[in-house]
């Protein structure tokens, strides 16, 4: 039961909520009170993210049961019942909003917005080409805003731009990985059975993949990756950023960003990764060391 609950809540995905800490780090707001508030906001988004995963599994349970791999999820396999999942969902939402209230009304509102956005995504937006990835990126932007506006920190335009481009890059990479995976697992379709071509008959919960191609996604990925590197590079040499931090040495963190993106592209194209960013980070030593090194150098430069 505990193993099934962990699978349902997906705690390995909590690393994504680390975007909440970007505001305090790059605003030099490292005092104890702000860090405590940021930690509470982080925990609130962890609870809300798990609530969203439970909601998605409830909504997709029938399709997941027909999927070759998703049928092993706790709800699809019957390890956890739907009534119990609804109780877990309610508890997580209440917990998230309660933690948000301990920080600020802004954080509470952003958490509610995150929930509404993900409901819209689960019901409709995930089936709309391009807008589906922008919806995913929107969830990350809400995390960044929670770590800035929610903590009384003025959000940097550079921070928002870099965050948007990076999350679009990761989102389109995820779609490409899903598209490759769907092509690899798709069985032969009898010519006499046109109905077998429908996404529902394949147990495919990503109908939007029919509107993508690897060539199109490669273009989106290349554009968003280039914009991420350029935006971050310009941020590190921006006069206002240099004046804020009192140093021009933030440029030395740029190579880690470039290497991390290149490594992720390598994993996407040659290792079949990209479908789960959090899992990729923890299972690839190169990515993990790069992120840790980037964070360490960044803190050293800004301290």
28 and 164 together in one domain: no
Q: How far apart are CA 57 and CA 70, in angstroms?
A: 10
The whole-angstrom separation of Cα 218 and Cα 201 is 28
- Would you tell me how many other CB atoms lie within 10 Å of the CB of residue 105? 10
119 and 160 in a common domain: no
- Contacts of 141 by beta carbon, 8 Å cutoff, 6+ apart: 160, 163, 164, 167
Question: Are residues 75 and 170 both part of a single domain?
Answer: no
Here the tokens at position 65 are 């049961």
- If asked whether residues 11 and 34 sit together in one domain, one would say yes
- Check whether residue 161 and residue 295 sit in a common domain: yes
CATH assignment at residue 137: 1.10.357.140
Q: How many structural domains compose the chain? A: 2
CA distances, 86 to each of 8, 53, 71, 82 (Å): 12, 12, 19, 6
- Same domain for 178 and 79, yes or no, is no
Task: Examine residue 128 and state whether it is found in any structural domain, yes or no.
Answer: yes
DSSP code for 188: P
- 259 and 133 within one domain: no
Give one word for 267, left, alpha or beta, with left for phi > 0 and alpha for psi -120 to 50: alpha
What string of pLDDT tens digits covers the 303 residues of the chain?
788 899 999 999 999 999 999 999 888 777 789 999 999 999 999 999 999 999 999 988 888 788 777 888 888 888 889 999 999 999 999 999 999 999 999 999 999 999 999 999 999 999 999 999 999 999 999 999 999 999 999 888 888 999 999 999 999 999 999 998 877 765 544 444 433 344 443 444 568 899 999 999 999 999 999 999 999 999 999 998 899 888 999 999 999 999 999 999 999 999 888 888 999 999 999 999 999 999 999 999 988
- 163 with 299, same domain: the answer is yes
Range of the domain at 176: 156-183+201-303
Distance CA 300, CA 303 (A): 5
Which tokens hold the place of 61? Answer: 């349970």
């Amino acid at each position: 039961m505990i193993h099934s609950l962990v699978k349902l809540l997906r705690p390995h995905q909590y690393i994504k909520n680390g975007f909440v800490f970007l505001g305090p780090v790059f605003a030099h707001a490292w005092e104890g009170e702000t860090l405590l508030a940021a930690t509470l906001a982080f925990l609130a988004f962890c609870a809300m993210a798990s609530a969203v995963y439970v909601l998605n599994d409830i909504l997709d349970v029938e399709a997941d049961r027909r999927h070759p791999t998703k049928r092993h999820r706790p709800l699809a396999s019957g390890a956890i019942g739907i009534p119990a999942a609804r109780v877990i969902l309610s508890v997580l939402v209440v917990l998230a909003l309660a933690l948000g209230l301990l920080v600020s009304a802004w954080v509470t509102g952003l958490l509610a917005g995150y929930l509404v956005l993900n409901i819209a995504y689960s019901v409709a937006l995930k089936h709309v080409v391009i807008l589906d990835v922008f919806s995913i990126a929107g969830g990350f932007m809400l995390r960044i805003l929670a770590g800035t506006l929610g903590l009384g920190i003025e959000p940097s335009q550079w921070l928002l731009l870099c965050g948007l481009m990076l999350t679009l890059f990761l989102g389109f990479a995820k779609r490409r990985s899903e598209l490759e995976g769907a092509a690899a697992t798709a069985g032969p379709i009898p010519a006499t059975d046109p109905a077998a071509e429908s996404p529902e008959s394949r147990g495919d919960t990503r109908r939007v993949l029919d509107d993508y191609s690897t060539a199109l996604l490669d273009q989106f990925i290349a554009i968003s990756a280039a914009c991420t590197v350029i935006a971050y590079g310009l941020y590190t040499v921006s006069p206002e950023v240099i004046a804020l931090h009192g140093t021009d040495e933030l440029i030395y963190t740029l190579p880690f960003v470039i290497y991390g993106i290149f490594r992720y592209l390598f994993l996407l194209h040659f290792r079949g990764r990209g479908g789960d960013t959090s899992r990729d980070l923890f299972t690839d030593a190169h990515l993990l060391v790069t992120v840790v090194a980037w964070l360490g150098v960044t803190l050293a430069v800004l301290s």
